[in-house]
Amino acid sequence: MRIRVDPDKCQGHARCYGLAPELFDVDDYGLSSVVGDGTVPEGLEDRARLAIANCPEYAVEELPD
Amino acid sequence: MTAPEPVVSWETDFDVLSPEYVSDPFAIWDRLRTTCPVAHTDRRKSSWLPTTYADVVDLAHDVDHFSSREISVIPFNGVPGRRPVLAYGLPPISADPPLHTWTRRLLLPWFSHRKVHEYEPMTRSLCGELIDGFLDAGSADAAVDYAQQIPVRVIASILGVPGSLSDSFTGWVRDVLEFADDPERRRRGSEALVDFFVQEVARRAEEPGDDLLSDLLHREVDGRPVEESVVLGVAALVLIAGVDTTWSAIGSSLWHLAGHPGDRNRLATEPAAMPLAVEELLRAYSPVTMARVVTQDVEFAGCAMRAGDKVLMNFPAANRDPAAFEHADRVVLDRQLNRHVAFGSGIHRCAGSNLARMELRVALEEWLRRIPEFRLADGAEVSWAGGQVRGPRRLPVVFG
């Protein structure tokens, strides 16, 4: 599973970082980005799905295989 | 102040200051969603009240038609005549791009995750001291003695102004936000608040500190210092936006837990449940309604909106929309799908959301650690503020 944060949609709610800090970074202006290339380590898939399901801007998305 | 005329039709004559709306807006929104869903009123000023998640989010994202120049739910002419100190209003919240963009960048680093993490120990010990003050009594007003005392002191510390003036700050902010139908009181609060910051700014020109206010005064944007009226506007905003709002969220959450032993017990015994629970409480009891002003005639959701009309950004109703949330009227502490917009949506996302979230979490953690069992006092009269910011203002509870 791979995920990304769309920088054009992210408004800095930081819900993804709050729910899955292993998978996201957040900068001093609140903008989120994925750790590394966005590959979700095994066992953290549910966290990734939670981050996707809680972004008010629909900015977190799963990349196709 | 005279009592407002009773509302006959919520569809065509709504009043967010009516006692019915302040005490229980939920049923009104539920009905409007099926009959309207964007209500209108000509009270005070032609204003629209959207009630669905989709409409509120669409409005928030259309900054070309819906400007933030007027963010007050009830028309407010600001401090009249005698001094145009706040020439730029309260940026970034009352600004559109480009002023919004650069003033927001000044502010955001002070409320980043990293910074907020630094404020957490201070917040926790403050909560502990407050509880020390009433624990032995076996009862407290959870709004006045606890919730109200927390955010104002944290914000004072960030701004670098004395926490001992908290009661004054709280009074001014309430005057501005909670007494919309009393223009004189609103004006007094607003003037006192601005006067205070004028003095604080003068003091910092001599003795800069390592606080937000000093930082604003000594920052440069495009090689030029930030104008004093911008600094004053940003500082006033931080105080106004950082006090009533979070205090209301803490109070509403404690009100919910006082009446729901299952939820209370779960949070008291299962700390890992707290992060999702905080989001759910923010969704269910979102405190803040903002406003926009229509910039040019536009049709929205079948409504012919005219330039100059006000549109209320009804984030609390959006968060109760059954089309966006399963069992929207129920608090589900571990709700998995929760794209709530308690902190707004789009470019005006609350700049202090990380701080508010931390304060709410820590306030609940410390309360539940020391007072795992509590309920509303017998015959307790809970009173609510509403309109721009909704939350309990009297919340008598007994422990054990």
Helix (H) or strand (E) holding B40: strand B38-41
CB atoms B108 and A28 under 8 Å: yes
CATH, range A2-63: 3.30.70.20
All residues of chain B having their beta carbon less than 8 Å from the beta carbon of residue A50 are 336
The confidence score (pLDDT) of residue B307 equals: 98
Q: Minimal Cα–Cα distance from A1 to chain B, Å?
A: 19
CA distance B141 to B150: 14
The confidence score (pLDDT) of residue A65 equals: 80
CB atoms A30 and B339 under 8 Å: no
From the candidates B339, B345, B362, which should be mutated to test the interface with A, based on the most A CB atoms within 10 A? B339
Does B332 contact A at CB distance below 8 Å?
no
Q: Answer whether residue B4 is part of any domain.
A: no
Domain extent, residue B318, equals 19-399
CA distance B245 to B389: 6
Does B354 contact A at CB distance below 8 Å?
yes
**How do strand B298-300 and strand B303-305 relate by DSSP bridges?**
antiparallel
CB atoms A17 and B113 under 8 Å: yes
The confidence score (pLDDT) of residue B81 equals: 44
CA distance B252 to B292: 26
User: Looking at chain B, which residue has its C-alpha nearest residue A9?
Assistant: B346
pLDDT in tens, B333-342: 999 999 999 9
CA distance A16 to B339: 11
Q: Answer whether residue B242 is part of any domain.
A: yes
The confidence score (pLDDT) of residue B73 equals: 86
Tokens at B1, concatenated:
């102040």
Collect all residues with Cβ–Cβ distance below 8 Å to B110 and sequence separation of at least 6. B158, B212, B215
User: Looking at chain A, which residue has its C-alpha nearest residue B357?
Assistant: A18
The confidence score (pLDDT) of residue B297 equals: 98
Under-50 pLDDT residues of chain B: 1, 79-82
Q: What are phi and psi of B230, to 5 degrees?
A: -70, -45
- 3-state DSSP assignment of residue B149: helix
CB atoms A29 and B105 under 8 Å: yes
Q: Answer whether residue B14 is part of any domain.
A: no
Q: What are phi and psi of B304, to 5 degrees?
A: -85, 95
The confidence score (pLDDT) of residue B88 equals: 85
CA distance B131 to B126: 9
All residues of chain B having their beta carbon less than 8 Å from the beta carbon of residue A16 are none
Cβ pair B230, B214 in contact under 8 A: no
Q: Answer whether residue B5 is part of any domain.
A: no
Give yes or no for a cis peptide into B25 (omega within 30° of 0): no
Cβ pair B364, B250 in contact under 8 A: yes
Q: How many domains does chain B have?
A: 1
User: Looking at chain A, which residue has its C-alpha nearest residue B334?
Assistant: A50
The contact set of A with B (CB < 8 A) is 11-15, 17-19, 26-30, 50, 53-58
Q: Answer whether residue B7 is part of any domain.
A: no
User: Looking at chain B, which residue has its C-alpha nearest residue A25?
Assistant: B113
The confidence score (pLDDT) of residue B2 equals: 57
- The CATH number covering residue B188 comes to 1.10.630.10
E strands, B43-192, are 47-50, 66-67, 139-141
Q: Answer whether residue B12 is part of any domain.
A: no
pLDDT in tens, A16-52: 999 999 999 999 999 999 999 999 999 999 999 999 9
Tokens at B137, concatenated:
């009594």
Give the start-to-end residue ranges of the domains of chain A.
2-63
pLDDT in tens, B86-145: 888 899 999 999 999 999 999 999 999 999 999 999 999 999 999 999 999 999 999 999
Minimum-distance CB partner of B113 among A26, A54, A56: A26
